[in-house]
Amino acid sequence: MHAVIQTHKLAKAVKGRTIVSDVDLTVKQGEIYGLLGPNGAGKTTVMKMLTGLIIPTSGEIMLFGKKLNESAKEGLKRVGSIIEYPIFFEHLTAMENLQLHCEYLGFYDKRAIRQALDLVQLKDIEDKKVKHFSLGMKQRLGIARAAITKPELIVLDEPTNGLDPIGIKDMRDLIRTLNKEYGITFLLSSHILGEIEQVADRIGVIRNGQLVDEVTLSDIRQQRTDYIELVTSNVQRTAFLLEHELHMANIKIVQENKIRIYDEGVSVGQISKLLVSQDIDIEEIQKHTSTLEDYFYHQIQGGDLA
């Protein structure tokens, strides 16, 4: 599939301190890509480089297949973004804010403004000043502003930061709608796995300024393995019984008194019943499910992923 963003060894150092290094990131057309990492990992810095707000110290950015640099910023016309917090003129209405933005861009089209406001479903706000908007409404207005020029890519830095659960769900629905119905590719960032996994197709994990992994959520879900772990003083006989009585083929003795059963379709109850009937002591038996958190915890050890 066509790459909307592709970076090669992207790096940024500020006053001699490296904050982002060696980032090879690919965002494909039509996908929702989530950049996941703890606070301070470098997400904002990467997004600022991708949207031309700061200049990389080294490395390369390809935007829509063309190099992005100081003298070649064409690609940015196809990008809308909210980096950090969306700032508006608080004493003006949504419409007035968007009009000013369009004038600034040299692109004045009242219909486009109306469409953008409709797109984010901001209603009954004709006379309302932005200072009376909730944070969720401001985020929506930010997306409307980013969407005015009908971008093919929207970059959102922590779009759910500070929102309440309903606001978070609304934002997620909005991103999905814009992605599915308008084919807009998204690059989002978050430090909360639970949020990003509900909306992203693919996740890039960033830690200490480096992209440590890039995975699709469906791949991780397939890799997830569930097993039953059993502690007993008689592992040999237990293994024998499981194989011969319950016809299990996927058993592993992991310690002298511990067995893991990876076979599917067998319950803790069935196993307990068999072993009790054979007078085998069970010190412990438990089903383990490796979660997405487990997966990412290994990627971001010591991080504050929620």
Q: Which residues of 36-68 are buried (b: 16+ CB within 10 A; e: fewer)?
A: bbbeebbbbbbbbbbbbebebeebebbbbeeeb
The yes or no reply on residue 49 touching ligand ATP (CB under 6 A) is: no
The yes or no reply on residue 142 touching ligand ATP (CB under 6 A) is: no
String of DSSP letters for 118-160: HHTT--S-TT-BGGGS-HHHHHHHHHHHHHTT--SEEEESSTT
Answer yes or no: are the C-beta atoms of 288 and 228 closer than 8 Å: yes
The yes or no reply on residue 37 touching ligand ATP (CB under 6 A) is: yes
What residues contact 74, with CB distance under 8 A and at least 6 apart? Answer: 66
Which one of the spans 35-43, 92-100, 218-226, 245-253 is the region binding ligand ATP (CB under 6 A)?
35-43
The yes or no reply on residue 39 touching ligand ATP (CB under 6 A) is: yes
Strands 3-14 and 26-28: antiparallel
The yes or no reply on residue 198 touching ligand ATP (CB under 6 A) is: no
The residues with which 36 forms a beta bridge, in sequence order, are: 190, 205
Total residues contacting ligand ATP (rule CB under 6 A)? Answer: 11
CB atoms within 10 A of CB 246: 14
Three-state DSSP state, 55: coil
Give the H or E element holding residue 9: strand 3-14
Which one of the spans 37-45, 98-106, 108-116, 133-141 is the region binding ligand ATP (CB under 6 A)?
37-45
Q: How far is the CB of 16 from ligand ATP (least distance, A)?
A: 10
The yes or no reply on residue 23 touching ligand ATP (CB under 6 A) is: no
Residue from 4, 11, 31, 42 in contact with ligand ATP (CB under 6 A): 42
Q: Residue 36 corresponds to which tokens in the numbers above? A: 């996941």
Residue from 43, 101, 172, 207 in contact with ligand ATP (CB under 6 A): 43
**Which value, to the nearest 10 degrees, does the dihedral of the CA atoms of residues 72, 77, 80, 85 take?**
60
The yes or no reply on residue 276 touching ligand ATP (CB under 6 A) is: no
Q: How far is the CB of 172 from ligand ATP (least distance, A)?
A: 19
Q: How far is the CB of 13 from ligand ATP (least distance, A)?
A: 10
Q: How far is the CB of 215 from ligand ATP (least distance, A)?
A: 19
Residue from 6, 7, 21, 44 in contact with ligand ATP (CB under 6 A): 44
Answer yes or no: are the C-beta atoms of 101 and 146 closer than 8 Å: no
Three-state DSSP state, 240: helix
Residue from 10, 19, 49, 193 in contact with ligand ATP (CB under 6 A): 19
Which one of the spans 34-42, 58-66, 92-100, 102-110 is the region binding ligand ATP (CB under 6 A)?
34-42
Residue from 40, 52, 59, 167 in contact with ligand ATP (CB under 6 A): 40
Instruction: Report the interface residues with ligand ATP, using CB under 6 A.
Output: 14, 19, 37, 39-45, 191
